[in-house]
Structure 1
Amino acid sequence: MKDVKKYIGLVLIMIMIVSLFAGFYGAPYAGAANDQQKIDVMLVVDASTSMNSSDKQKVANEAMKMFVDMTSEQGDKIGVMAYTDQIVREKALLKIEGPEDKGELKRFIDQVARGPYTDIAVGVAESVKVLERSGEPDHSPMIVLLADGNNSLPKERTQEQSDKELQAAVSQAKAAGIPIYTIGLNADGKLNKQVLQGLSDDTGGKAFVTSSADDLPRILSEIFADQLKLKVIPLTALTGNGQFQEVTVSIPNGNVIEGNISIISGKPVEVKLVDPAGKERPVPSDGVLYSTSNAYSLIKLLKPEQGDWKLQVKGASKDKIDINLVFNYDLQLAVKPVAGPFKKGGKVDIEAQLESNGQALGDPDLYKGMTSKLVVTDIDAGTTTELPMTNGGDLFSGVFEIPESRNYELVVRVEDNSFFRESEPLQINAGGGAAKPSSTPPATSGQVPASEKEGLNWPLVIGGLALLILLAVAAWYALALVKRNNKGFYGQFIIEIHDEDTGERTSPQYKKLSGFKGKLKLHQLLQLAPEFAETDKIVFRPGKDSVFILNQSGCLIEKSGRAFDAAKGKELKNNDRIKISLQAVHKSIILDYIN
């Protein structure tokens, strides 16, 4: 442990030195934060006979086919793998060049048969290897695993061997930056949530549970949103009446690459589409793709015209029809470089623009309706604040006034109702933990500098001492910061969401906290669902066998029927239960803490 701290300290010292020079000579260019628009994905499915009960309706197949349909029409790479206690069928990563490639993948999915055993380690380990071996270097890799989380091993294989291989595969995925998204199939109520949740938590993915194809649009949309920095837009829910009913699909700007409209219904539907000019567009036709399956219909608009499209849907009488929309954008966010040196009380002008393929975009229609904020992290104090920025119609601007002689990290975040983007962080060194460079007084005319009299270069000596002090203080600050930001959470939350209008409640969701460190937002636990955006200001920090909750939102929090004032932070201990009443929607969240 001491050696680890030693090396961490050395690395952080080097970072602090680089930050110091950045403070003197200006921060580097801050561009898009890993905005990969293409993905390499392995769709991995448990093909054991136990799935006959945990996935009676073959929801896994429908999910994989819908995922294939939602991916980009060109450029993404998709592979499919079915496993029992061995790999029984595998489709190598296929680069999508058109509808024919997607059709080939979906036919392969429908041919997957089931076998007697299952070993989740086999499927995960092999899919990680495929992505590392065949993935594109400029694509974002990911795994979507559909399983019930249970093993059924042959006699020659022990659970200990499987667990060891699974842990090794998870470590490999984490090191390679491959998140694992899990969809737990629970038709028979025997889902092993803990295993699937652990896979997602350990690799930076997310875990979902379903027993019905009805949940697929929400689940798959959230996976896309998480990977490509998008948002799910729920459109109007309909009840079929045997007639065409109209829904407006608004295309906000010309930078939409694709618009995915998913339609879920119990029975087949008919659809019509009218473009913003009022012209009916055949479905399918040029620029309008249409996919159907047993569980869904999906319309994909390629480079759609800006404006209001009209979708007309005709469903069977009393049939529930859910419609969701997910866009894909060719947009990044870049911040203009800022010049130092920086000091307490100084003002730093921040400007950011949206870019496409490295070219700045100044279209007012694109910026219309977007909000922006500057997220400021005081690295020395370990605190974060948010400052509003101004949308100028072609750029976002704001001013950061340096409050203290410390180190800061600035990130610009912009969003509208369909996507969000974050910039690369700007480092601002305003003297946090760093001694100011010493300057030697100029020599008086006619005098010989002392350094020349004694044969020593005193400015160099003084500068060296100052650097040593800088390194010592920087190391102290850095190690303290690492300790604070790496403090882990204990226990888990059990979350239920209540609809106050209907009285309905969701099944309990178990959220293990061991994968989080330093700080956790409730919105993260709710999978960043736009409906619960206000919970982004409800923050948890780890305590000693407890957690502390800080409520900076307008939500009412109650404990034992009484208002629970967490504006300045409150401790939650084992078996504490709180109720959080949301303001934007008429719903509440019941949260139990167990350690």
Structure 2
Amino acid sequence: MRSRFRHITCRILSLIMLAAAVAGVLPLKADAASSVSQVDAVLVVDVSNSMNTSDPDKIGNEAMKMFIDMLSQQDNKVGIVAYTDVIQREKALLTVKSQEDKAGLKEFIDGLNRGAYTDTSVGIKEAVNLLQDGAEAGHAPMIVMLADGNNDLNEKTGRTEADSQQDMQQAVAEAKQNGIPIYTIGLNADGKLNKESLASIAKETGGKSFITSNADDLPGILSEIFASNLDLNVVPLKSMTGNGQYQDVTVNVPNENVLEANISIMSSKPVDARLVDPEGKIRQIPANDILLSKSKSYSLIKMLKPQAGDWKLQIKGVSQDKIDINLVFNYDLGLTMNQIPDQDYGKGDSININAYLTSGGQQLQDSLLYEGMNAVLNITDLDTGKTDKMELDNQNGSFSGTFKIPEDHNYELKVRAEDASFFRETDPVTIRAGAAASGSSSASAGAGNSKAGLWLPAVLMGIIVLILLAAAFLIWKYFKKATRGFVGQMVVEVRDENTGEKSYPQYRKLNGFRGKFNLHQLLQLAPEFTGTEKIVFTPGSGDRLTVRSTGDLTVEKSGRAIDASRGVELKNGDRLTIALGSAGKTILLEYLSVNS
């Protein structure tokens, strides 16, 4: 109850802060653009039987594993959806904090099997749902889809192509509305790829579309996806032919703000790799700050917070074997534009533009970091839609210039700074320039301001009162819910995973609980079921229940793994399966409502 009360309190405080922002006491939105170095990604793969010909070598699986290896271990989240015309298997968004987390995800991918029929809309719809349920504020959401883009519907279900297309359009629109780009990788070993469908999905959501039938393409494709989603540029290092000897490749780490350097090595044959740091010391691979991941088609070296300077990568490949090497950095950098006065402008007025790099919210003064960077001011005329660019000067640790307003129009301004390995953009700023804003009728403007001064405080006070009334309503609603009763009963069975034996069903009536109860209480606080207190039930709408999990227990609903951290609704007849790995037991639950 305490955590729920804290949640309500936070919502009330948010409302009060909103009221203060409306009244001009607090800023409603920060002006500075911050860098995003974490992602919330859902990998979607078609596992229907058609993939036996469009992806016989399971390049899709290799792509997903390589994507996971490229992710940093700084709280990125990954989910997986494997679909046919239904969801075959899925894994809710998991926070990646270690190599063990990555190994678990890759093991899940290796365990995927293929089945009959295909409905592409099913996979996209579920991926969007996973991101809406488990995405983190401040993370960059994304979906990476690996498929041939073709549908093969089961006629027995009565579902038509029109039904699928309608669901597809809704899912894509929802992704676009929530700022979720979808990157599609078309798998085309049999030449039957529906590239138009996959390209449309990517274009509509702001993603990109790729086509491949060869694992050799994966490093370039995945590097470009990473680069696009995290404002990075791919740095091609070298393509070489193995000669049985070590060959040198220079890896330049440009500055101390590099969080990670991802070096992908693609070769059809095994390769040996060595690293020499800028001081000439041979570094062991792997090590605490140098990670190594391998698959049947690639090797990935991840350097954590590498020393700035020229590293030497030494590659030894089989004679005549082609070896491709790419590099993607991950930076702790943002780009901020100095605040532009919020006022009315006119044609011919000049606005001083100044932007600078930041790290951890602080301006960077490192002149070496700015060397080789170019910056432009992107200008969009909001009245005509015309876009233009103005180059900015790079000097004294910032990018600066003067924008002269060409017409009495409204404009959106945004600075973009770029070097060979990354780019950053500021938040857009809108300025107003019109005939009335040029000051041609100062007397009437003064009268208008005088009138505004009379009614504006009253309007703001009214808004604040309404928000405080809403806060009071939330408190009343919370306490009403905290004492609300339950209906129906829960059927409880316990299966011993060591013997396979299952207990007789026990029917537990729920009308004795108020507000909420946990699974440990339902199991009568048996000591061997410690940990189930983190599975919490609250009343839902009508005769339904809501289940939430605040721990790391795996919860399945009707045979599918679900993310119960934000609450999942149960209706009459819904079944839950909860595995207690340490106890060797599995709890089987079925909810029966009072109306059953």
Bucket of the pairwise TM-score, normalised by the shorter protein? 0.5 to 0.7
The letter for the 1-side match of 2:141 is P
Residues 554-569 of structure 1: pairs in structure 2 closer than 5 A: none
Decide which of 301, 304, 307 is 1:305's aligned counterpart: 307
Residues 187-226 of structure 1: pairs in structure 2 closer than 5 A: 187-226=189-228
The letter for the 2-side match of 1:79 is G
Contact 2:346–2:437 (Cα < 8 Å) also in 1: no
Contact 1:29–1:337 (Cα < 8 Å) also in 2: no
Partner SS state of residue 231, structure 1: coil
The letter for the 1-side match of 2:329 is F
Change in 2 beyond 3 A, CA 1:122/1:461: closer
**In structure 1, distance between residues paired with 2:197 and 2:420:** 34
**In structure 1, distance between residues paired with 2:312 and 2:92:** 39
1:399 corresponds in structure 2 to 402
Cα deviation digits, residues 460-502 of structure 1 (max 9, x gap): 69989xxxxxxxxxxxxxxxxxxxxxxxxxxxxxxxxxxxxxx
Partner SS state of residue 223, structure 1: helix
2:295 corresponds in structure 1 to 293
**In structure 1, distance between residues paired with 2:61 and 2:173:** 28
**In structure 2, distance between residues paired with 1:462 and 1:235:** 64
2:126 corresponds in structure 1 to 126
Identity %: 55
Change in 2 beyond 3 A, CA 1:369/1:460: closer
Residues 101-500 of structure 1: pairs in structure 2 closer than 5 A: 101-155=101-155, 156=157, 157-339=159-341, 342-431=345-434, 434=437, 436=439, 438-440=441-443, 459=447
Superposition deviation, residue 252 in structure 1: 0.5
**In structure 2, distance between residues paired with 1:392 and 1:326:** 27
2:39 corresponds in structure 1 to 39
Partner SS state of residue 237, structure 1: strand
Superposition deviation, residue 426 in structure 1: 2.9
Change in 2 beyond 3 A, CA 1:305/1:399: same
Compare 132-141 and 371-380 and name the one that shifted more.
371-380
Contact 1:184–1:193 (Cα < 8 Å) also in 2: yes
**In structure 2, distance between residues paired with 1:298 and 1:181:** 21
1:12 corresponds in structure 2 to none
**In structure 2, distance between residues paired with 1:459 and 1:165:** 54
Superposition deviation, residue 30 in structure 1: 4.1
Partner SS state of residue 174, structure 1: helix
Change in 2 beyond 3 A, CA 1:337/1:151: same
Cα deviation digits, residues 495-548 of structure 1 (max 9, x gap): xxxxxxxxxxxxxxxxxxxxxxxxxxxxxxxxxxxxxxxxxxxxxxxxxxxxxx
Partner SS state of residue 167, structure 2: helix
The letter for the 2-side match of 1:128 is V
**In structure 2, distance between residues paired with 1:80 and 1:180:** 14
Cα deviation digits, residues 4-59 of structure 1 (max 9, x gap): xxxxxxxxxxxxxxxxxx9xxxxx97421x64221111111111111111101110
Superposition deviation, residue 235 in structure 1: 0.7
**In structure 2, distance between residues paired with 1:169 and 1:333:** 32
Change in 2 beyond 3 A, CA 1:348/1:314: same
Partner SS state of residue 136, structure 1: coil
Partner SS state of residue 353, structure 1: strand
Cα deviation digits, residues 566-591 of structure 1 (max 9, x gap): xxxxxxxxxxxxxxxxxxxxxxxxxx
Contact 2:344–2:437 (Cα < 8 Å) also in 1: no
Normalising by structure 1, we get a TM-score of: 0.68
The letter for the 1-side match of 2:130 is V
Partner SS state of residue 283, structure 1: coil
Partner SS state of residue 283, structure 2: coil
Superposition deviation, residue 434 in structure 1: 4.4
**In structure 2, distance between residues paired with 1:324 and 1:313:** 13
Contact 1:438–1:462 (Cα < 8 Å) also in 2: no
Change in 2 beyond 3 A, CA 1:60/1:270: same
Contact 1:29–1:336 (Cα < 8 Å) also in 2: no
Cα deviation digits, residues 136-155 of structure 1 (max 9, x gap): 12212111111111122222
Change in 2 beyond 3 A, CA 1:182/1:289: same
Change in 2 beyond 3 A, CA 1:47/1:459: closer
**In structure 1, distance between residues paired with 2:380 and 2:436:** 16
1:515 corresponds in structure 2 to none
Change in 2 beyond 3 A, CA 1:360/1:158: same
1:549 corresponds in structure 2 to none
2:88 corresponds in structure 1 to 88
**In structure 1, distance between residues paired with 2:163 and 2:351:** 56
**In structure 1, distance between residues paired with 2:400 and 2:302:** 35
Contact 2:46–2:84 (Cα < 8 Å) also in 1: yes
**In structure 2, distance between residues paired with 1:74 and 1:459:** 56
Partner SS state of residue 238, structure 2: coil
Partner SS state of residue 429, structure 1: strand
2:538 corresponds in structure 1 to none
Contact 2:345–2:437 (Cα < 8 Å) also in 1: no
Superposition deviation, residue 213 in structure 1: 0.4
2:78 corresponds in structure 1 to 78
Residues 472-551 of structure 1: pairs in structure 2 closer than 5 A: none
Superposition deviation, residue 249 in structure 1: 0.3
Q: Which runs of 5+ in 2 are unaligned?
A: 1-23, 453-596
The letter for the 2-side match of 1:49 is N
Superposition deviation, residue 89 in structure 1: 1.4
Q: Which runs of 5+ in 1 are unaligned?
A: 1-21, 23-27, 442-456, 465-595
Change in 2 beyond 3 A, CA 1:186/1:458: closer
What is the RMSD computed on CA atoms of the aligned residues?
A: 2.3
Contact 1:438–1:463 (Cα < 8 Å) also in 2: no
Superposition deviation, residue 271 in structure 1: 0.1
Change in 2 beyond 3 A, CA 1:430/1:160: closer
Superposition deviation, residue 171 in structure 1: 2.0
Superposition deviation, residue 248 in structure 1: 0.2
Cα deviation digits, residues 431-462 of structure 1 (max 9, x gap): 35647363449xxxxxxxxxxxxxxx994699
Change in 2 beyond 3 A, CA 1:163/1:366: same
Change in 2 beyond 3 A, CA 1:102/1:399: same
Change in 2 beyond 3 A, CA 1:152/1:349: same
Change in 2 beyond 3 A, CA 1:378/1:204: closer
**In structure 1, distance between residues paired with 2:435 and 2:149:** 48
Contact 1:378–1:407 (Cα < 8 Å) also in 2: yes
Contact 2:146–2:184 (Cα < 8 Å) also in 1: yes
Partner SS state of residue 274, structure 2: strand
Change in 2 beyond 3 A, CA 1:261/1:461: closer
Change in 2 beyond 3 A, CA 1:361/1:151: same
The letter for the 1-side match of 2:53 is S
